[in-house]
Amino acid sequence: MFDSYLKESIIGRAIKDKKIKIKFYNPMDFCEPKKRVDARPYGGGPGMVLRPELFLKAFSKINLRYSVDAKKKVKIILFSTSGKKFNTAYAKKSAKHYTDMIMISGRYEGIDARVKKVLRAMGHVVDELSIGDYVLTGGELPAMVLIDSISRQIPGVLGKYESLEEERISSSEVYTRPEVFKYPPPGRGKKSKIYKVPKVLLSGHHKKIDEWKKKKNNKL
């Protein structure tokens, strides 16, 4: 599921240039033959829950230096619909303070809660995160969202120009060439309507432009 996405565009270049490194550990590889990876939840409820030993076995294969200082530089993320909301501020803080991030992606109704308890008992930083108020079939898409958003905050991943633009005020309403756009194009049998770029964006006055962008964002 990750293969094609991680080979494209900015993320693909970042991996190729060794700005970031991504490894995969499949908990299903640690399931004994003929033994289920999931089971019904104790106490009842819908769906199936993934067994804890598979994830902990996979985690034990990750090459971490088990010192106190190393643990402070590693953050573990569990994706959960009840977790705190992921945003750009979280991405920036993570890129600044952590050298490694371990994203544990579940499926079905989730992962046995004892995985989180064991990891915290080992002294690891564990966050439960959600990427929005909706339910997905697995944690793969949320993991891709975090990889993309956090990678952008790592020095060198974005180009120099893009890095500068990242710090400027963005807007939901953006324009590019041509300055004057007619649609439908002339000669199509219908009268063309003229669409122009707002004058403030052509002024070169960054303060006024940023004020315009803020107003547009406040209308959302």
- Give the C-alpha separation, 72 to 100, whole Å: 10
Q: Is there a binding annotation on residue 200? A: no
Q: Is there a binding annotation on residue 197? A: no
DSSP percent split of the chain into helix, strand, coil, nearest 5: 40, 15, 45
Q: Is there a binding annotation on residue 106? A: yes
Q: Is there a binding annotation on residue 136? A: yes
User: Which letter does DSSP use for residue 29 in this model?
Assistant: G
Q: Is there a binding annotation on residue 187? A: no
Q: Is there a binding annotation on residue 146? A: no
Secondary structure class of 145 (helix, strand, coil) = helix
Least Cα distance to 78 among 46, 40, 47, 52 occurs for: 52
Q: Is there a binding annotation on residue 148? A: no
24 CB contacts (<8 Å, ≥6 apart)?
2
Binding-site residues from annotation: 106, 131-136
Binding-site residues from annotation for S-adenosyl-L-methionine: 106, 131-136
